[in-house]
Structure 1
């Protein structure tokens, strides 16, 4: 049978009706499934699960769809509408998870009558009922429902505040000294003679990397690291308290304990142990990294006594330029956005045995967005959207969003990459980010041919989801691969020796960056575990313990740390996944990055299986052994 992708409105005025109709129809179908499951009809275990799968598909068609447009649609009224539809979906899932009559239908099933995949579905359904409080008394279930509803609203407010709070700094033109010519050309003085630098990524990242004026860098960094302050501070307090209460009502010691139960790491205390383990591994080298930056800073100004968050990018860039002959401004002339995007599609197509066909006339939510159908041989297996430039009201970070969750013979997987890149020349770090985020998108598509929607796409444990994306970053560092699309204005490819120096220069500050990641992980973990009354004080203390880089005074990093909403206490995930990513990449031959046997096996054993098995088993199937820290340790030591 032919499965068609989602058709979006061609008329901007039709968007409210489109969002409402798709959301309401799907939610009505999900409610109908619940009623049918409880109607007393005698069904076999597999018939019950097939019917449940219909309902889960309907829920996915509201949740992902609505959450996505709440973050990206250009019309604020459509974003608000999508938020409400996402709230309705979450409220339904909470209500369904506490339905004892429905729970009894599944509790009565004989697991021995199911195959391994269906049995895994049943195990997950029963687990999720328990984690929803189905076995609690009426008063507790009512309170859990109220908590869920409030957490949804608070989380949406938190994310919206970050998205909408675009700050700016007004600077004299000479304070842009050091910035690339195209950046300065795009930032002309206004009538009062001053230049506006915003906290959007295409403004802030180059400024902090290249601006020679330390005072100006610090001014921009302060604004960037105080977005959504003070509005998000009370929201964080409320969110942490709500999560803690939910966990305690369900019988857990803390929110991290509740959250970690369904992840690879397994327990709350193990998060803290992992953070300390990685921080200790990176400590000595990290301090040496900071000493190198400080020594370089003191050449400019002997009175500088410490490296701050407003200095790190600038002095890292200077050390790379002076010690390794890598000038990021020179490097960026090889990375024209349009060529990078085309190269990304060529590289991933060749690697995974797929190809893309652009759909130029397909209706989209913004003219900035490009659309491609994904094919394996002549079979369309999904659709992707690339929404890669900033605009007002749009999600401010970089992420992949599900638009449609794939179900075999029912609906194609569709997803969107949402980033905030410049339209002209890119930093190589932005190229790496693009490859990383595209890794999530390709995982969503390749893993989207599943019978059970619960296992479709990026449906593995949450502390594994970054590993495939982190591994794909390696293809943005290979000289031969880069030379296939990284060319300057004259068409000259990036020199291989420059790429080699870039790789060596990337070692500058590696251990310090690992320590910074552990600082972020500690913030997400400790704020949830301890729920301090003063977030600023707690975050400063965690910085002293883990970061090695002092945050600037009068900043409030946590209020703009969007991962506190989505990842909650689990930001350790990025480093946990990196341990596995380095091990996954060890199976590839760096001299043959497109080895069809290895790449095909990785595609089929890891990506295409979605969440149909535990992540550790997927990795072991590909590597032929359990994952280990060995490859990560070699990388951390610079080998």
Structure 2
């Protein structure tokens, strides 16, 4: 299929009630054929403009084909999900072949050495530099035997990654308990979980069941049972899958000349090296430890009210007793708070807030026009200054076989004059009222979607959308969370069933209560980051035992006996050794937010500067340079450290 660069780009035509199996295959295979044709053009092109132009078209087609992985995560038809997995393997196999195509590499290598390279404009020169770096990271300059083995490892890694994710996605676990063990749960939750013919209630590990139960459920043993079920999702299947995946990554890094997978992984990230990751984990852990220990003591004191003589606060106690501390010591009752967050109002409020902040218009698209894959998906066209600049799809509720966490997926990466950016937000929120932390999560994930669309207006697909260093991509989304904590912002959409707006003093209390737990959060995040890093930094025969050791070293909560959380820790696939990214990005997010005036969260000058200097730039410059351009100085830890102790 040929891309028409003269016509005004339109959103892609999804099949709706049509034949999804045929459409998914046709879309992917057609784009792969387009990519192959464009790659052949690269090899015979005679000048820099022709070479880079054909390569941009090839990369665009590959990105379009690679989006097939979305359907493996969200499509309600298992046959479509399975076919999408197969097609995704084909795409990754082709990408691996391209990365080791010596003739193709030589084209770019010669171009870089030619006089033309010095005349390239900045973005084109960056495309060339990044392309050469990508080639070298695939081992294109190694001997044939090494290239063959790297190809085998890449294909094996794709299959293992798919197995790892599929095992998590398809393994929804549950507990069955007597109705009286729902003590403490809100009325609407209890009503939605009636007893079955055996007189028992089923609670699943899906988020809408899990989060309220772990927050409000008064039965500690029931919380332990559900936590154990959640932390044993995909056990034992993923234990060996993960070991095999780690082995593939270790061998890959070694063949490419790196001392470890983290060193290979961080070469293209802001942090720069594996040792820097280890140092960062230690720095955050040391900085947060004193506060975490003090907060743990508060939780233990409150637990002893219910369980005199208790000696420890377990992981499954954390949410519950943090909620009680906030309710009793900060006068914030989560069950009252949630009554102000009706899902439909929150979704519309989010659109209104981000529209006002970034100057965007969100126009609903009828399902008959959008051709969406499920009746609960909501679609919007995105406008800026009267022009359509993209389309988004919101798939926000759980269902069987669907991705279990929260993430933004690319459907189309935007290229100016060629195709509009389209993104899909995939979450698992309740259909009724939401917890406030779910509202915060929705703002966070929507930040990725905004970044994808605004950053998808440039010429080069290599830098389209969220194309910055991987340890920066969370920073803009974490910063957007701040708007979910502002009283004036929440007042625009947070209303209870009677139409009463959430009181400003309640929001102020929520903010004060939110200060409690920062140290616990930072410590626990570092225990996850340590698993991510140290699992990859060396070989470990027993991942459960080693994970428990890291939990004891970095978290203040003891390991959960009988749990194998690494099997359900989906980020060990996509983030590999880089889960530190969340805290690294939070450091930068707090610094970015320091430029905003908290008394005027929609001040147009700073919001527009942030939109244009950070979000709209995509990957056109290094993340550190984008931040410095916006702030007028290099990023620092100061704002994060001030936040931790406030």
Same fold, TM exceeding 0.5? yes
Deviation at 1:310, TM superposition (A): 1.0
Deviation at 1:67, TM superposition (A): 1.0
Deviations 1:516-571 (A, max 9, x none): 00000000000011120000110010011001011220001100000000000000
Q: Distance in 1 between matches of 2:539 and 2:513?
A: 39
Q: Distance in 1 between matches of 2:129 and 2:310?
A: 58
* SS of 2:68 mapped into structure 1: helix
Match of 2:490 in 1: 482
Q: Distance in 2 between matches of 1:503 and 1:37?
A: 55
TM-score w.r.t. the length of structure 2 is 0.98
Q: Of residues 605, 611, 615 in structure 1, which corresponds to 2:613?
A: 605
Match of 1:35 in 2: 40
Are 1:628 and 2:636 matched, yes or no? yes
Q: Of residues 523, 528, 533 in structure 1, which corresponds to 2:531?
A: 523
Are 1:431 and 2:436 matched, yes or no? no
Are 1:456 and 2:464 matched, yes or no? yes
Deviation at 1:34, TM superposition (A): 1.9
Q: Distance in 2 between matches of 1:369 and 1:116?
A: 39
Are 1:49 and 2:49 matched, yes or no? no
Deviation at 1:38, TM superposition (A): 2.1
Query: Does the CA-based 8 Å contact 2:404-2:427 persist in structure 1?
Result: yes
Q: Distance in 2 between matches of 1:393 and 1:568?
A: 23
Match of 2:408 in 1: 400
Are 1:18 and 2:23 matched, yes or no? yes
Q: Distance in 2 between matches of 1:10 and 1:495?
A: 42
Query: Does the CA-based 8 Å contact 1:437-1:469 persist in structure 2?
Result: yes
Query: Does the CA-based 8 Å contact 2:42-2:52 persist in structure 1?
Result: no
Are 1:615 and 2:634 matched, yes or no? no
Match of 1:103 in 2: 105
Q: Of residues 83, 86, 94 in structure 1, which corresponds to 2:85?
A: 83
Match of 1:558 in 2: 566
Match of 1:472 in 2: 480
Match of 1:271 in 2: 277
Deviations 1:132-172 (A, max 9, x none): 10001111000000000000000000000000000010000
For the aligned residue pairs, the C-alpha RMSD in angstroms reads 0.7
Are 1:284 and 2:284 matched, yes or no? no
* SS of 1:88 mapped into structure 2: helix
Match of 1:587 in 2: 595
Q: Of residues 191, 201, 204 in structure 1, which corresponds to 2:197?
A: 191
Deviation at 1:208, TM superposition (A): 0.5
* SS of 2:458 mapped into structure 1: coil
Q: Distance in 1 between matches of 2:403 and 2:489?
A: 30
* SS of 1:425 mapped into structure 2: coil
Deviations 1:36-93 (A, max 9, x none): 2223x4x211221011000000000011x21111100000110011111111111111
Q: Distance in 2 between matches of 1:447 and 1:135?
A: 33
Q: Distance in 2 between matches of 1:90 and 1:587?
A: 41
* SS of 1:400 mapped into structure 2: strand
Q: Of residues 72, 75, 92 in structure 2, which corresponds to 1:73?
A: 75
Are 1:409 and 2:417 matched, yes or no? yes
Q: Of residues 512, 515, 526 in structure 1, which corresponds to 2:520?
A: 512
Structure 2: unaligned runs, 5 residues or longer: 1-6
Number of matched residues?
634
Are 1:61 and 2:67 matched, yes or no? no
Deviation at 1:382, TM superposition (A): 0.3
Deviations 1:335-394 (A, max 9, x none): 000000000000000000011000023210100100000000210000000000000000
Q: Distance in 1 between matches of 2:590 and 2:386?
A: 33
Match of 2:3 in 1: none
Query: Within 5 Å, which residues of 2 pair with 1:186-335?
Result: 186-335=192-341
Q: Distance in 1 between matches of 2:259 and 2:183?
A: 53
Q: Distance in 1 between matches of 2:602 and 2:321?
A: 36
Deviation at 1:303, TM superposition (A): 2.8
Deviations 1:606-637 (A, max 9, x none): 00000000000000010001010000000011
Match of 2:388 in 1: 380
Query: Within 5 Å, which residues of 2 pair with 1:109-124?
Result: 109=111, 110=114, 111-124=117-130
* SS of 1:80 mapped into structure 2: helix
Deviation at 1:302, TM superposition (A): 1.4
Q: Distance in 2 between matches of 1:35 and 1:569?
A: 35
Q: Distance in 2 between matches of 1:6 and 1:239?
A: 35
Are 1:3 and 2:3 matched, yes or no? no
Match of 2:548 in 1: 540
Q: Distance in 1 between matches of 2:377 and 2:122?
A: 41
* SS of 1:311 mapped into structure 2: helix
Q: Distance in 2 between matches of 1:547 and 1:363?
A: 46
* SS of 1:368 mapped into structure 2: coil
Deviations 1:13-55 (A, max 9, x none): x10110111111100111112222223x4x2112210110000
Are 1:156 and 2:162 matched, yes or no? yes
Q: Distance in 2 between matches of 1:164 and 1:473?
A: 30
Query: Does the CA-based 8 Å contact 1:45-1:113 persist in structure 2?
Result: no
Structure 1: unaligned runs, 5 residues or longer: none
Q: Distance in 2 between matches of 1:81 and 1:405?
A: 22
Deviations 1:391-413 (A, max 9, x none): 00000000000000000000000
Q: Distance in 1 between matches of 2:448 and 2:55?
A: 27
Query: Does the CA-based 8 Å contact 2:42-2:50 persist in structure 1?
Result: no
